[in-house]
Amino acid sequence: MGSHCQTIWCEVELIMVHWKRLFCLYLLCSFVSFAHAQSYPTKVVKVIVPSGTSGTMDLLGREFALAFNTQLGKPFIVENKAGAGGNIGMGILAHAPADGYTIGLGAANALAANPFLYASVPFDTLKDFAPIAFIGRMQFVLVAQQSVPADNLKDLIALMKSKKMNFNFGSSGIGNTAHLFGELLKQRAGVEMEHIPFKSSGEAIQELVAGRIQLQFASPAEVMPHIKRGVLKPIAIAAGNRVESLPQTPTLSELGFPGFESPTWFGILAPAGTPKEIINLLNQEARVATQQTSIKTRLAQAGVEPAYMTPDQFRSFIAEEMKRWESIVKQSGARLN
């Protein structure tokens, strides 16, 4: 009996030693992770922006890179990787080292729409990225060049159907929100117009102002100066509600064309597997940045309404948005190789 008890006690001691070792290992790992987050960053951090060097995406990338630089004391350098509707840049981000030294900007089109628009994309939205911070949302307005002889959607559609003139519309690239909204309008209204992709929304607007394209879905903030000068005219709002800056312009839904209520959105992400401590740190730094008056002003100028989400909330949001954009892509009839 005594020998049996002694054996049991020895086994208990061994189990206790094992758990003590595991606990010590846990503390060590926690300390290393904490120390890693406390010292981060120790070198330059690359910020991948999947667009050209102008337009909303570039502006947001540079604003947050500058904010992180100031707040964390190390350079955050923007690298523009344009092409394929954001697929090139997002593919580079997805396959970058998951060490916190490569992060990037993502938007609704690349993350939520492209997986359904393109035959294949070089990333899996839900598996290849670690969401860091939601930045905000942006509404769209359909604008026409002042030379177009139509001031409202009804007359515009009638003009298109008359085929008295050829129509085209611009966007900041194949597969972005403005492109998909244009394709959706074509399908819903039963009209023809050619899509002309540009490297940025700013470049597309320049061509619109110059009269080389006729229509564009754009941020109200981007086109308001041209609307005020009479160079462009607002036709309809692609959002759930009218926008404050254009109170007399009806929404597409009001005009009998529902389905344009989904605004585009922007966020910061890292490659999957990036240490959670770094993700949480950057999330808080992004939250601090969006509370700064200077950044609020810049976001407003770009037509972006700031909003905050935790990394987990942002991940859930992306999953839901993929369902929404899958439906929009299918309704638009757009499909790219």
Predicted local distance difference test score (pLDDT) of residue 14: 54
- Measured CA to CA in angstroms, residue 199 lies from 84, 89, 169, 196, 285 at distances of 10, 13, 14, 10, 30
Q: How far is CA 15 from each of CA 1, 3, 8, 171, rounded to the nearest angstrom?
A: 21, 19, 11, 65
Residue 50 CA to residue 213 CA, distance in Å, equals 24
pLDDT of residue 302: 82
Residues in the chain: 337
pLDDT over threshold 60, residue 185 = yes
- The C-alpha torsion from 132 through 135 and 140 to 145, rounded to 10°, is -100
Helices then strands, each counted (H, E), the chain? 13, 11
Q: Which candidate, 187, 232, 206, 191, places its Cα nearest to that of 330?
A: 187
Q: Which pTM value belongs to this model?
A: 0.80
For 179-193, what is the mean pLDDT?
A: 93
69-73 mean pLDDT: 97
pLDDT for 8 equals: 54
Residue with more model confidence, 237 or 12: 237
- pLDDT digit string, tens, across residues 126-160: 999 999 999 999 999 999 999 999 999 999 999 99
Cβ neighbors of 256 (< 8 A, separation 6 or more) are none
Lowest-pLDDT range of 32-36, 37-41, 135-139, 150-154: 32-36
Q: Domains along the chain?
A: 44-137+264-332 (3.40.190.150), 140-238 (3.40.190.10)
